[in-house]
């Protein structure tokens, strides 16, 4: 993917062309076995259909399909695929003891205009060989995808780059909502939000319904694009995702938006009826 010995293109330039986070290059990604790759892909599909399945039920489902795996194995794969069951918990947990977790602020907020609330999340994108992670930032009111990045590691760099790009292109929102993933609770990511005086909101752990719009977008993306293809390379993945994001923003009609496109609503070209 990245040619470190290429004398014509610097590593920085190659990362820019592939839209990859440069910081991820300095972490050696362990090779994944063919069996684990198949299990990851299958877990991703099962979880999209049954997002309330935890490791116990996912293990049982895989066993029913003929895969002899234990719960500890499934837990490890869930972490790798950024999967966590949706269910309410009485007490919030902290992914990283050094990171502050912020409260959920959107319960009483009326989202009545673009740039009132943005949200983000990370998902697993399968390829023919291996996989990458995708982060996207969505405007709650219009469902418009403001920016996105892919990475082969779960470092904070590609999340930071997506956030900086969205703010540079569209200005700063009033609220920004995330889950409690360590990328989003990191000082680096939170520091950007604070520097732009953005109010920070975080979901209760295991409460994907708090971030429902980005969760719905992942479902659309995977059923309408990812599951129909197996990307041959990171470049192929990036090019196809770019086409889908353009179609989603510019052409795809949303029933919840009165059959308008996210672009029409975000830009104010047409009002939601």
Per-residue pLDDT tens digits for 121-170: 999 999 998 999 999 999 999 999 999 999 999 999 999 999 999 999 99
Whether the Cβ atoms of residue 264 and residue 270 lie closer than 8 Å to each other: yes
pLDDT at 91: 36
Q: Distance between CA atoms of 87 and 78, rounded to whole angstroms?
A: 16
pLDDT (tens digit per residue) in 48-60:
999 889 999 999 9
∠ Cα 129 43 63 (to 5°):
115
pLDDT at 85: 79
Q: Is the pLDDT reported for residue 173 higher than 60?
A: yes
**CA 85 to the chain's CA centroid:** 16
**Other residues' Cβ atoms within 10 Å of the Cβ of residue 40:** 20
Which residues lie closer than 8 Å to 172 by C-beta, 6 or more apart? Answer: 115, 196, 197, 198
Q: Is the pLDDT reported for residue 96 higher than 80?
A: no
Candidates 103, 125, 106, 105; CA nearest to 185 is: 103
Q: Is the pLDDT reported for residue 23 higher than 80?
A: no
CATH of domain 117-267: 3.30.420.10
pLDDT at 14: 60
pLDDT at 32: 84
Q: Is the pLDDT reported for residue 69 higher than 90?
A: yes
Q: Report CA-CA distances (Å) from 212 to 32, 44, 188.
A: 31, 18, 25
22 band by pLDDT with thresholds 50, 70 and 90: low
Cα dihedral 164/169/171/177 (nearest 10): -50
Which residues make beta-bridge pairs with 176?
A: 118, 200
pLDDT at 265: 97
Domain boundaries for CATH 3.30.420.10 within the chain: 117-267
pLDDT at 266: 97
Q: Tokens 């990458």 appear where?
A: 132
Looking at every residue in the chain, the average pLDDT score rounds to: 86
Phi, psi of 123 (to 5 degrees): -135, 165
pLDDT (tens digit per residue) in 200-245:
999 865 455 567 899 899 999 999 999 999 899 999 999 999 999 9
Q: Distance between CA atoms of 212 and 73, rounded to whole angstroms?
A: 28
Residue 136, classed as helix, strand or coil, is strand
Q: What is the pTM for the complete model shown?
A: 0.82
Which residues make beta-bridge pairs with 120?
A: 137
Structure tokens at 57: 């039920």
93 band by pLDDT with thresholds 50, 70 and 90: very low
Structure tokens at 118: 């943005």
Enclosing H/E stretch for 120? strand 117-126
Whether the Cβ atoms of residue 148 and residue 217 lie closer than 8 Å to each other: no
Q: What percent of the chain has pLDDT over 70?
A: 81
Which whole number is the average pLDDT over 64-70?
Answer: 95
pLDDT at 17: 61
Whether the Cβ atoms of residue 62 and residue 42 lie closer than 8 Å to each other: yes
**CA 256 to the chain's CA centroid:** 22
The length of the chain in residues reads: 273
Taking phi over 0 as left and psi of -120 to 50 as alpha, with beta for the rest, 130 belongs to: left
Q: Tokens 């989202």 appear where?
A: 111
């Amino acid at each position: 993917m990245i040619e470190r010995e290429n004398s014509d293109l610097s590593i920085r330039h190659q990362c820019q062309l592939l839209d990859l986070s440069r910081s991820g290059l300095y972490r050696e990604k362990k090779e994944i076995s063919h069996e684990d790759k198949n299990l990851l892909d299958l877990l991703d599909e099962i979880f999209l259909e049954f997002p309330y399945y935890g490791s116990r039920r996912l293990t049982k489902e895989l066993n029913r399909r003929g895969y002899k795996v234990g719960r500890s194995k499934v837990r490890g794969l869930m972490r790798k695929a950024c999967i966590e069951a949706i269910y309410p918990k009485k007490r919030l947990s902290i992914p990283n003891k050094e990171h502050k977790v912020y409260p959920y602020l959107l319960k009483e907020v009326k989202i009545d205009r673009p740039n009132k609330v943005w949200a983000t999340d990370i998902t697993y994108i399968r390829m023919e060989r291996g996989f990458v992670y995708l982060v996207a930032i969505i405007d709650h009111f219009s469902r418009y995808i403001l920016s996105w990045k892919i990475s082969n590691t779960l470092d904070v760099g590609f999340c930071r780059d997506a956030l900086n790009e969205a703010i540079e292109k569209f200005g700063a929102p009033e609220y920004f909502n995330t889950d409690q993933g360590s990328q989003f609770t990191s000082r680096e990511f939170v520091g950007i939000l604070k520097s732009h005086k953005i109010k920070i909101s975080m979901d209760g752990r295991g409460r994907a319904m708090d971030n429902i719009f980005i969760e719905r977008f992942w479902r659309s993306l995977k059923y309408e694009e990812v599951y129909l293809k197996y990307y041959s390379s990171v470049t192929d993945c990036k090019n196809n995702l770019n086409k889908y994001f353009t179609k989603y923003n510019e052409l795809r009609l949303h029933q919840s938006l009165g059959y308008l496109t996210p672009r029409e609503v975000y830009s104010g070209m047409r009002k939601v009826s």
